[in-house]
Chains A and B, each alone.
Chain A
């Protein structure tokens, strides 16, 4: 039978439709969950696989480094209007800051700016206006290489250690996922500037990012002074790296019955979290209160600020 025949035959089948016994659904849902737990994606989308944050961070840094070999240091990278050289200088500064927080080296910062990721690197970015591209890249490779070597040496216990990062008390593993997020976002920015496709992010790495982005929503809502109302949101992120989360919108609270369901593509949601897509521009399906959904999406996008 052809696909066209299947369409006709599907309609024929609907002519003999009969509602099945009510008891059938529960057994089907139980059998389905038994074969793949609720909330776990299928294998091809990364379900059941967990990326190691340290390896994932090093891999993402390597991908950024590979792009620089073909880059023009003077090309302008949006959304900040930096040159590629300035973008690399920004990363040097962020890596120096992370190494400082990990206790790897001394590095002087303006502590009044520590909570603000962009402000903290603004001086270095400005100074890089006239910097030589090759020298800046060499400097970043040296700092980043030292940082990656240290991170690669951390065992599971060390990855659980908490450090302060932009004033937040967080596990090192979480900080690394935040950094993966940042470097991936810059990879996408850089690829747009270079008019080339960004290297695809594997599902397991993307799942680390979506997990952190969803978990950060309550903090984002708090920082954004958005009313959480004690609600829980069901976040369904589709495609590679996706999953299902019942996320309490109040920091530290246990999730309850969801008041709103938001369905969006996992990569698009990451772009929202990285402030590369505005909440109103995200293509999402909402079940429940639209106002609450928009606040949740605004909270998700505070993450990158």
Chain B
């Protein structure tokens, strides 16, 4: 689909309308914009939800909730404060962690998460070329983190663990868990500069 700015009569990005434009379109009721946003971000939302909850059924449910939420509340997204990817990622993560904490089988699951959460190969990555490149760069960045920081980031994010749970699992004080997470995220921000 070719996008053109009439004012300058030239092609914009061949990747299509910007996220900001799509959200503005959704706000006035353009459901085609919702579908484009879904095509763009559903692998991330679904993949993250599946990773955190370790359940395809919960991942589907969360994916639906996230995209219906952005349709109902497009004005909650503020492009000045961050990207749509970060917004949807945070929304998905929060919802997935809530689901994990509500889950009555949590104890059994935690054992599995404890052993798997730090493994980035647990699920396959998307087959889209650009997303694969992004994913590869992210995986390389995570792999390059010192082991202790990597564990803290992976447990807190993909494991859905609180600081206290991260500390317990790694046998370290809670403050140390927090600082490892902070250091790990700080390093990732530097390593991933240009992608954000």
> Which A residues fall within an 8 A CB radius of B?
1, 3-21, 24-25, 27-29, 31-33, 35-42, 44-45, 47, 236-239, 242-244, 261, 263, 266, 279-287, 290, 293-294, 297
Contacts and interface: CB of A to CB of B under 8 A. Distances in A.
B51 A286 contact: no
Contact of A287 (B3, B44, B82, B153): B3
Q: Which of A13, A20, A236, A283 has the most CB of B within 10 A?
A: A13
Given A7-B196, A20-B43, A238-B24, A13 B92 contact: yes
Question: What band does the interface of chain B fall in when counting residues whose beta carbon is under 8 Å from A?
Answer: 35 or more
B71 to A, nearest CB: 4
B28 A244 contact: yes
Contacts of B51: 16
A5 B120 CA distance: 19
| Interface SS of B by simple majority | helix
A304 to B, nearest CB: 19
Interface in B118-161: 120, 122-128, 131, 134-135, 138-139, 142, 153, 157-158
27 contacts: A7-B189, A9-B90, A9-B157, A12-B142, A12-B157, A14-B89, A14-B131, A15-B125, A15-B134, A15-B135, A15-B142, A16-B120, A16-B122, A16-B125, A17-B128, A20-B45, A21-B60, A32-B67, A32-B71, A32-B72, A35-B68, A45-B27, A238-B24, A238-B25, A282-B6, A293-B6, A297-B6
A279 B6 contact: yes
Given A9-B157, A20-B60, A40 B92 contact: no
Contacts of B24: 238-239
B177 to A, nearest CB: 14
B189 A284 contact: no
Contacts, number: 225
B168 interface: no
A35 B31 CA distance: 12
A23 to B, nearest CB: 9
Given A236-B30, A287-B1, A294-B6, A20 B90 contact: no
A29 B126 contact: no
B114 interface: no
A294 B5 CA distance: 11
Given A6-B87, A28-B64, A282-B7, A11 B1 contact: no
B196 A11 contact: yes
B104 interface: no
A17 B88 CA distance: 13
Given A11-B134, A15-B138, A236-B33, 7 more contacts: A13-B89, A14-B89, A18-B47, A28-B67, A32-B72, A47-B29, A236-B30
Contact of B48 (A13, A33, A237): A13
B7 A236 contact: no
Interface of B: 1-7, 9, 12, 17, 21, 24-25, 27-35, 38, 42-48, 50-51, 59-60, 63-64, 67-68, 71-75, 81-83, 85-90, 92-93, 120, 122-128, 131, 134-135, 138-139, 142, 153, 157-158, 185, 188-189, 192, 195-196
Nearest to B43: A17
Q: Which of A3, A14, A239, A281 has the most CB of B within 10 A?
A: A14
A167 to B, nearest CB: 31
B44 A14 contact: yes
B28 A238 contact: yes
Contact of A285 (B17, B81, B87): B17
B188 A19 contact: no
A35 B71 CA distance: 9
Contacts of A33: 31
A237 B192 contact: no
